[in-house]
Amino acid sequence: MITLYELHWSHYCEKIRLTLHYMGLEWRMVGIDAFSKRQLREHPLPSYLPSHTVPAIHDARTGRFVMDSTPNFVSLRSRKVRQYLATASVR
């Protein structure tokens, strides 16, 4: 299951919500407290980023935690391609 950590008013988060809907992936949403960000802090901060931001995605299948909308978009796209290749029939 994919968990999207988000702030409902964020257009970066909307980009990922739309991507998840479009790709038909199963996912759930966790709204974060914008000040404490306590829901995000259970995941380690990637060393190249100064602080936790949303959208952030945790994929329980792979254990990956990805922050920022563009890396998340790329990650979801490659997940969908792998899913397609795994189910495509060989002719």
Q: Evaluate whether 11 touches 66 at the Cβ level (below 8 Å).
A: no
Three-state secondary structure string covering 44-74: CCCCCCCCCCCCEEEECCCCEEEECHHHHHH
Which of 14, 25 has the CB closer to ligand GSH? Answer: 14
Strand partners for 31: 6
Among 62, 70, 78, 83, binds ligand GSH (CB under 6 A): 70
Which of 77, 83 has the CB closer to ligand GSH? Answer: 77
Among 2, 4, 20, 54, binds ligand GSH (CB under 6 A): 54
69 scored as a contact of ligand GSH (CB under 6 A): yes
Give the sheet arrangement for strand 27-31, strand by strand: 27-31, 2-6, 56-59, 64-67
DSSP 1: -
Which of 21, 71 has the CB closer to ligand GSH? Answer: 71
39 scored as a contact of ligand GSH (CB under 6 A): no
What residue ranges bind ligand GSH (CB under 6 A)? 7, 10, 12, 51, 53-55, 68-70
